[in-house]
């Protein structure tokens, strides 16, 4: 799949997820097989660009190309300025968020709420595309509500505005992440457009990815929640799409090593105090399918130092590998 000057290969993309797709996770997922990793949403409001959160979200030092940064907002000129600012910080692709269903985003008429205002959508897209010399992509949902699926209308606006590629999540805004994604609307959008279209929603296995690509005719798939605690799913999907063969699941030793690497990177990127706190949700995701995971989480979530968090994690997985009950003690 081609986005501007960038060839996206494999056609497996890590979807943007607030609080999840930070630089440590993007770098890890790119190493494990993603063709593209999209940053978590960054605000278009310049008043917040110097906060610690925004500075971390705009840090792309050492990140493998192409670097895709998602921005959100409602004012065309402000969004254009945000696009320019993020390109100055290293963004090589600008992605516009019109897919987020969160109330705190939609209540400001950003995210998927913008799909209710096609004229404003056109103004935002045209302003951002005109503001930067890098490709601009767009992520949308199938519509605002079950009785208001207007993805095709928005998609045509996007193509006319010069959007380089479009991602469609197979749910309406009012569905949030509940129920099942539907792919008929995505297939309709793909059939009507000449730009690349990416399918998103409930893609949680290599077989599901292949089926969604076949059914929709899309150029790539976006993987979101299924990569939480399972970043190797990107490698598994890429391998299956290329060869038709299923890779074996990673062994406990590899899971341990990937997780420890991820923890080290979080501690280094955010600093010990914030890194340990942010790592806790990832620890829960990595451990959720393993024995004694609830007891492990209860102990490791009380760890306040990077050294103890790493030691407890290594001990837990080493015990699983040895086939012995983990010694879940949080002593320093």
Residue ranges for the known binding site are 16-18, 70, 139, 200-202, 224-225
User: Closest Cα to residue 141, out of 131, 127, 154?
Assistant: 154
Measured on CA atoms in the order 323, 329, 331, 332, is the torsion positive or negative? positive
Inter-CA distances, 9 with 5, 23, 36, 95, Å: 13, 20, 8, 18
Can you read off the two tokens belonging to residue 120? 């404003």
Q: Which of 29, 37, 100, 218 is catalytic?
A: 100
Task: Say how far apart CA 265 and CA 259 lie, in whole Å.
Answer: 10
Task: Say how far apart CA 54 and CA 56 lie, in whole Å.
Answer: 5
Beta-carbon neighbour count of residue 55 at 10 Å? 11
The three-state secondary structure class of 302 is coil
Q: Specify whether 100 is catalytic.
A: yes
113 with 105: CB under 8 angstroms? yes
Residue 145 β-bridge partners: 148
Inter-CA distances, 109 with 104, 149, 163, Å: 9, 17, 21
Binding residues for FMN: 16-18, 70, 139, 200-202, 224-225
> Which residues have a catalytic role annotated?
100
């Amino acid at each position: 799949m081609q986005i501007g000057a960038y060839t996206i290969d494999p056609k497996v993309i890590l979807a943007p997820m607030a609080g999840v797709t930070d630089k440590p996770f993007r770098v890890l997922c790119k190493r494990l097989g993603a063709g593209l990793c999209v940053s978590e949403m960054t605000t278009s409001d310049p008043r917040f660009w110097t906060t610690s959160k925004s500075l971390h979200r705009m840090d792309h030092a050492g990140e493998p190309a192409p670097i895709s940064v998602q921005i959100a907002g409602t004012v065309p000129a402000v969004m254009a300025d945000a696009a320019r600012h993020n390109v100055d910080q290293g963004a090589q692709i600008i992605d516009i968020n019109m897919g987020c269903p969160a109330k705190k985003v939609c209540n400001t008429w950003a995210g998927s709420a913008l799909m209710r205002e096609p004229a404003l959508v056109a103004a935002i897209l045209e302003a951002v595309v005109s503001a930067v010399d890098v490709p601009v992509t767009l992520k949308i949902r199938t519509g605002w509500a079950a009785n208001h699926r207007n993805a095709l209308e928005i998609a045509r606006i996007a193509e006319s505005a010069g959007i380089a590629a479009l991602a469609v999540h197979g749910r309406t805004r009012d569905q949030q992440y509940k129920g099942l994604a539907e792919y008929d609307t995505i297939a309709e959008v793909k059939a009507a457009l000449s730009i690349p279209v990416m399918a998103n929603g409930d893609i949680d296995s290599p077989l599901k990815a292949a089926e969604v690509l076949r059914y929709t005719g899309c150029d790539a798939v976006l993987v979101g929640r299924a990569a939480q605690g399972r970043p190797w799913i990107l490698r598994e999907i890429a391998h299956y799409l290329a060869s038709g063969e299923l890779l074996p699941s990673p062994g406990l030793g590899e899971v341990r090593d990937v997780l420890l690497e991820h923890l080290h990177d979080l501690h280094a990127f955010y600093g010990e105090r914030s890194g340990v706190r942010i790592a806790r949700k990832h620890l829960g995701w990595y451990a959720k399918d393993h024995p004694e995971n609830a007891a492990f989480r209860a102990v490791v979530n009380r760890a306040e130092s990077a050294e103890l968090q790493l030691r407890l994690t290594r001990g837990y997985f080493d015990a699983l590998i040895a086939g012995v009950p983990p010694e879940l003690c949080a002593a320093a």
